[in-house]
Amino acid sequence: MKIFEMSALELSRLLQKKEISAVEVTQNFVERTAAVEPQVQAYITRTPEAALAAARAVDEKRERGEPLSPLAGIPLAVKDNICTGGLRTTCGSRFLEEYIPPVDAAVVKKARDAGMPLLGKTNLDEFGMGSSTENSAFFPTHNPWDLQRVPGGSSGGSAAAVAAGMAPLALGTDTGGSVRQPAAFCGLVGLRPTYGRISRAGLVPLASSMDQAGPLAFTAADCALLLGLLAGEDRDDPTSSAEPVDDYPATLPEGVKGLRVGLLTENVPQDFDREIIAAVQRAAAVLAENGAVVEDAALPRIRSSLEVYHLLCAAESSSSLGRFDGLRYGCSEPGENVNEMYSRARGEGFGPEVKRRLLLGTSILRENRYEPFYRQALRVRALIRRDFEEALARFDLLLGAVAPTTAYPLGEKKDDPVAMYHADICILPGPLAGVPALSLPCGLSAAGLPIGVQLTAAPFQEAILFRAAHLLEQEQGPAPLRPPAL
């Protein structure tokens, strides 16, 4: 097996035994990226020299016998809406094309401190607004399983980088499913942690009440390893939680015996692809065969999630992106007045999807629309959260679909925003409730494309998600899904 085909856990074991060096590992991923990146286009910015320098530092520390993190020497790709000090962070937008943050985001600092070489910044839908990574201002990313299909979004660059063997681990962000849907489309494990489990400091906001960073990897064990590093309270993020961090990798062998699993029948309607429905039913059967108690579960207000999410996300985005005026960020020729300058800067700097959502958000925050739209959406969100609380008081896990279909062709939904939004119907409820959810592959479609299923748990119960995901992986076979050779 080639180095770039190994899991992060396998690489960690070899590094700790000194059977390979961090430089060897990083060089292997750098070379793999050079070979396949022209076809996949997962990265906006690549940093091979800096990554190799970081790897050399890890090897030197290991030779001196210094204590190291299990992730020391394991390269990482980072979504380009997570700030990296001294390295440009574009958010996939022309507005920030040359923006260089002064400091690292909290998650990047933890990764660097642990000795993880940073391979580069990955492509995304502009400011995280999209589900296909076609809304990037620079170029679309291609799915390594089929280069004519989308990798999902908005963390499509991170997912494609891991799936194509260009990084063993990647960070994405998930506001309304932007880690889990790309994971499903690219055959990966993707986790949206509990809101507050990982610090949001240094993450360029889309909707601050829902934004959360999360890992993408080939296996649940790899995701568990990275979450263990990144989780925890951060004084720079008042929304981060002081809840104790579990030893996630240690819980993986515990299995699912005795766990109560709720099958979300509403989350898999009959108009979904039959292969998606079959995959969810297959996962439920495997859990039951291994000692879980599987019963139907209900989230009565789940069908309101699409409208509620987009109203709240648009409103929060309108507020968050108000800072982009062409003076502090981006650039613009001065106009005759402030309004003209703002209009010119945003007209040139923002793409169509960003403009669409900002106009919607600004509209619903107007005085005559605030109560019937924004406030009403908050009320329904509270009901959705209550549905989750009631369901998760009865069940340890909820099982459902990630998306109505497998990865669709590039361009198919790009000009139809309503169809694009509908594709996220399964993954929007969790962020509204602030609960953790995990996507994992559950076989291939007849067309040879990955199918994902979703597990959801109560707040800060990520360990249960990893246990169930690990068991489902083992039942499918020891090796993770890999796309055809590029």
Residue type, 35: A
Instruction: Based on the residue annotation, tell me whether 12 is a catalytic residue of this protein.
Output: no
CA-nearest of 15, 16, 96 to 323 is 96
Q: How far apart are CA 447 and CA 427, in angstroms?
A: 23
Q: Which residues on adjacent β-strands are paired with residue 170?
A: 77, 216
Rounded to 10 degrees, the C-alpha dihedral 156/357/455/212 comes to: 80
Q: Which of 155, 178, 241, 332 is catalytic?
A: 178
Q: Which of 7, 93, 154, 240 is catalytic?
A: 154
H-state helical runs in 321-375:
338-349, 352-364, 367-369
Residue listed under structure tokens 């494990």 = 189
Q: How far apart are CA 278 and CA 458, in angstroms?
A: 25
Burial per residue of 372-396, b for 16 or more beta-carbon CB atoms within 10 angstroms, e otherwise: ebbeebeebbeebbebbeebbeebb
Q: How far apart are CA 82 and CA 385, in angstroms?
A: 27
Q: How far apart are CA 125 and CA 298, in angstroms?
A: 32
CA-nearest of 350, 374, 345 to 361 is 374
Q: How far apart are CA 182 and CA 439, in angstroms?
A: 9
* Burial class of residue 333 (count of CB atoms within 10 Å of its CB; 0-12, 13-18, 19+): exposed
For the sheet with 118-122, list strands across it. Answer: 43-46, 118-122, 76-79, 169-173, 213-217, 189-192, 437-444, 450-456, 397-401, 260-264, 293-297
CB proximity list for 312: less than 8 A, separation 6 or greater: 207, 209, 210, 374, 377, 378, 381, 432
Instruction: Based on the residue annotation, tell me whether 154 is a catalytic residue of this protein.
Output: yes
Instruction: Based on the residue annotation, tell me whether 304 is a catalytic residue of this protein.
Output: no
DSSP annotation of 295: E
Q: Which of 79, 110, 121, 413 is catalytic?
A: 79
In angstroms, the Cα distances linking 45 to 6, 28, 157, 158, 231 are 24, 18, 11, 12, 26
Residues annotated as part of the active site: 79, 154, 178
